[in-house]
Amino acid sequence: MGKRRIVLLLTVVVFTLALLCGVLAGCSNIKNLFEVNATNLADYAKYTYSNGESKINFSLKSSDEAWVRISWDSAVVFNEIFLYESGDNVTGFEIYVNDVLCYSQNEIGKMRNVYLGNTTATSVTLKVTSCKGSYKLTDIGIYNLQRNRTFHSTAFVRLNENGDPFDGVDTSLIKNYSDYILYPLVTFDSQGNLNVNGADLAAVSRKIRSFNYSAKIHLVILPAPGADEDENDVRHSAFKDYAQQLSSNVASLLKNSSFDGVVFGFDFSFGENLFDYGVYNEFIETLRGKIMSPYEIGVFINPDARIFNKQSKQYIDNFYIITPNLDDNTQSVFSKTVCKALETVKDSDLPKAKTYLTVPFYSYDSESETLYKYCDYASQLGKFNNFATTSDGVKVRFNGYSAVRDMAAFCYDYGIAGLLSVCPHYDVSGDLSLASAIQSAIK
């Protein structure tokens, strides 16, 4: 099977990066994204700079390596640091707590959070180690933010279509998630009929609950085109002309298989105006009428979510936001993916308590159509790096351990429902596990 085919299978319900880039082009002031409801310990600190200056406020600018030491007369307790940059010119920075190196990353951008966990310190040193031209850090926040709410860590798992569904899936790598989305076990045709792809769904459910009893499990329901049919045509026909039949079949499936809900993907290139999306909104209303609580309806969606009206947003339980894939080694991982996606979600009036961001456990180069698995480069990346070099000398960017932990912490702080890990079977066990990075940020 070619690399392109592998990627398409892994991301079968994920929409194109080109569309996402258009959606995320504009954004508001990141500092207005949300209000941090905690005391900023940096307001009560002293600042000593590498050029010898001592001040009572923060501002670090240079075109070379520079640092600032933030200190207190008595020890403070915190778990997270927020950094703000005018521009995107920092290419490396480190953080020292009580003069001990504890963190390093390759970017800041408009805003970057640093999650350190429960920390007691009398001093924190921020050191810019590399840059591209002049940079200016404009503000810093040092907070002890509460961890007292539910945050869902969801695994998006592709199972085997023939034979044992779990063949090739290392369940030890996915055992600690709170929720699961499974595919491609169930499909539908243009007349709303369902087809189960060979698996005993009850057995699949029992398998998941054998290692995670309390988990919620959802099924992705995919369109299955026949001869001379297009996938989008199948979806439109079933949603428009056979909504009642499809919804009744889905309701029966849930009732008889002990799953907790279903997830649908939508074609966002369909139609030329918002009125064309009435078909989708009507389908959601019909589906909700058949699938009553506690069964859940989920949708994969772009950050702008303009397809769904106010009523549909109430009917839908889970919005899985497709954040950009990693196919541009020059862009900032954090500010140009997480921050922009959340800014767009806010502008689109999506309910935060129902919203999830996706994080891929792989990197994909769209030019060479090559997929790189995190597990093959985890040891090279370590805890702080986001870039690895292949055996062919290609520089590949990942969401590394610290980047994923920071992402999880920021999403928790912002108040969304959780994170969706795409291809979690590309993870590793031990200290570099991305699943454990997520867990450490939300406890």
CA distance 180 to 170: 14
Under DSSP, is residue 243 helix (H, G, I), strand (E, B) or coil? helix
CA distance 178 to 296: 15
Q: Give pLDDT tens digits for 47-87.
A: 999 999 999 999 999 999 999 999 999 999 999 999 999 98
- The separation between CA 235 and the C-alpha centre of its own chain, rounded to angstroms, equals 26
Average of per-residue pLDDT across 357-370:
86
Structure tokens at 63: 């075109």
For position 4, what pLDDT does the model report?
36
- State pTM to two decimals: 0.89
Q: Give pLDDT tens digits for 119-165.
A: 999 999 999 999 999 999 999 999 999 999 999 999 999 998 878 89
Average of per-residue pLDDT across 318-325:
80
Average of per-residue pLDDT across 351-359:
92
For position 275, what pLDDT does the model report?
55
For position 22, what pLDDT does the model report?
31
Percentage of residues of the chain with pLDDT beyond 70: 87
Q: Give pLDDT tens digits for 378-407.
A: 999 999 999 999 999 988 889 899 999 999
pLDDT at 7 over 80: no
Phi, psi values for residue 68, rounded to 5° = -135, 135
Average of per-residue pLDDT across 193-203:
86
Residues forming a β-bridge with 139? 84
Which of 93-97, 211-215, 297-301, 303-307 is predicted least confidently? 303-307
The DSSP code sequence of 11-73 is TTTPPPHHHHHHHTS----GGGS----S--GGGG-EEEETTS-EESS--EEESS-EEEEEEEE
pLDDT at 433 over 80: yes
